[in-house]
Amino acid sequence: MKYPITRPRRLRSKKGLRDMVAETSLSTDDLILPIFVNEAISEKKPAEGLEGHFYYPPESSDLADFILSNLELGIKGFLVFGITGKKDFHGSRAYSREGPVYRAVRYIRDNIGSEPVIFTDLCICNYTSHGHCGLPVEKNGVKIIDNDSTLEVYSKIAVIHAEAGADFVAPSGMMDGQVMAIRNALDSSGFSNVGIMAYSAKYASALYGPFRSVMESEPKFGDRSSYQMDPRNIGEALKEVQLDIEEGADIIMVKPALFYLDVIRMVREAFPYVPLAAYNVSGEYMMIKTSADKGFLDLNRAILEATLAIKRAGANLIITYFAPLIAELIKNR
């Protein structure tokens, strides 16, 4: 049938009808909100470079209030990042019971309970004096990031985070074999029920700048191109994701999100039954936020459109700094 019998506009004629036939929907169940805990502060402070977000002391009523307020909005998932002023070569504060993530997660469990679904970022870049996600070694006068010795550190971090009460650990360092090493460490330590959300296809992107400023995690030499993925590659993402699944990942991830919608779609089609997360990263957040602040676009509409694009591409879970505002928009729609 053709026009005038076929008129697609009939299904767009009123909001209620558009809502009824919408192919993609957003729910607060889809959202994971990043949280920054900083052991070097004693009170809540703005996270410079990431407008609208804050640092929280690991054990503070401000942290508890922030989580409780977002639970009330319907946000269940929180991804905890730790910042320390006590950096060293091995990033030992990352696997210390005195470290920020351990203390924050323990505090959340003691004061809020089991309701929040807690994911913990598992990496060492923000804990090390060199700023890399792995341990550097020198070979033939050149510094490289040593894969296998780094896995030993990751395993220690995973166990500490599980002990604190994390539901999921989220290894983001892109070391080969990291999921298997972490799975073995968790299982052998009695934490077989703690899951792994793997940063499976994490690209060496220019979009992490605001986050690195907040986390004080810029590399002190070189860059991360030897372990994060090349933006020119897409098929390689399938290999990385498949390896993570085979090694025991419960949730897989593509990062960044908006610049890599094609990767999200391809991963979803290749692995339709594995939960897929996508990280709407700090650079993407600030591009929308800054454009809206300058009056170039409508913030609420842009946020929903961007988040729907990620969901439409195939992501089940979306890690986003816009989570509270998205939840408010969903609640008031």
Name the band, by pLDDT with cuts 50, 70 and 90, for residue 222: confident
Q: Which has more pLDDT, 332 or 39?
A: 39
Q: What is the pLDDT of residue 185?
A: 98
Q: What is the mean pLDDT of the chain?
A: 95
Structural contact between residues 267 and 320, judged by C-beta atoms closer than 8 angstroms:
no
| C-alpha pair distances (Å), 196 with each of 45, 193, 244 | 30, 10, 10
- At 265-308, the pLDDT tens digits run 999 999 999 999 999 999 999 999 999 999 999 999 999 999 99
210: number of CA atoms within 13 Å, CB side? 21
Q: Which has more pLDDT, 185 or 213?
A: 185
Q: What is the pLDDT of residue 217?
A: 79
| Closest among 250, 285, 309 to 47, alpha carbons compared | 285
Annotated active-site residue in 76, 86, 255, 289? 255
Q: Is 294 a catalytic residue?
A: no
**DSSP secondary structure letter of residue 230:** P
CB burial of 277-297 (b: ≥16 within 10 Å; e: otherwise) equals bbbbbbbbbbebbeebeeeee
Name the band, by pLDDT with cuts 50, 70 and 90, for residue 218: confident
* Number of neighbouring beta carbons within 10 Å of residue 152: 12
Q: What is the pLDDT of residue 50?
A: 93
Check whether 216 has a pLDDT greater than 80.
no
The single residue listed with the structure tokens 């913990």 is 120
- 41 phi and psi angles, rounded to 5 deg: -120, 160
pTM, full prediction: 0.96
Give the C-alpha separation, 157 to 186, whole Å: 10
- 191 phi and psi angles, rounded to 5 deg: -115, 50
Check whether 1 has a pLDDT greater than 80.
no
Q: What is the pLDDT of residue 140?
A: 78
- At 2-59, the pLDDT tens digits run 889 999 999 999 999 999 999 999 999 999 999 999 999 999 999 988 999 999 999 9
Q: Is 255 a catalytic residue?
A: yes
Q: What is the pLDDT of residue 213?
A: 87
Contacts of 159 (CB under 8 A, 6+ apart): 95, 185, 186, 189, 191
Give the C-alpha separation, 274 to 245, whole Å: 8
Q: What is the pLDDT of residue 193?
A: 98
Give the C-alpha separation, 99 to 83, whole Å: 9
Structural contact between residues 225 and 172, judged by C-beta atoms closer than 8 angstroms:
no
Give domain limits for the chain.
Answer: 17-332
**Which fold, 17-332?**
TIM Barrel (3.20.20)
Name the band, by pLDDT with cuts 50, 70 and 90, for residue 67: very high
Name the band, by pLDDT with cuts 50, 70 and 90, for residue 219: confident
- At 149-195, the pLDDT tens digits run 999 999 999 999 999 999 999 999 999 999 999 999 999 999 999 99
Which residue blocks in 165-252 are alpha helix, DSSP H? 178-188, 209-215, 235-247
Annotated active-site residue in 87, 202, 289, 311? 202
Provide the token pair at 249.
């990942």
Check whether 324 has a pLDDT greater than 90.
yes
- At 102-118, the pLDDT tens digits run 999 999 999 999 999 99
Q: What is the pLDDT of residue 215?
A: 85
Give the C-alpha separation, 242 to 260, whole Å: 18
Give the C-alpha separation, 134 to 223, whole Å: 12
Name the band, by pLDDT with cuts 50, 70 and 90, for residue 131: confident
Q: What is the pLDDT of residue 332?
A: 85
Determine the residue type at 270. A
**DSSP secondary structure letter of residue 196:** E
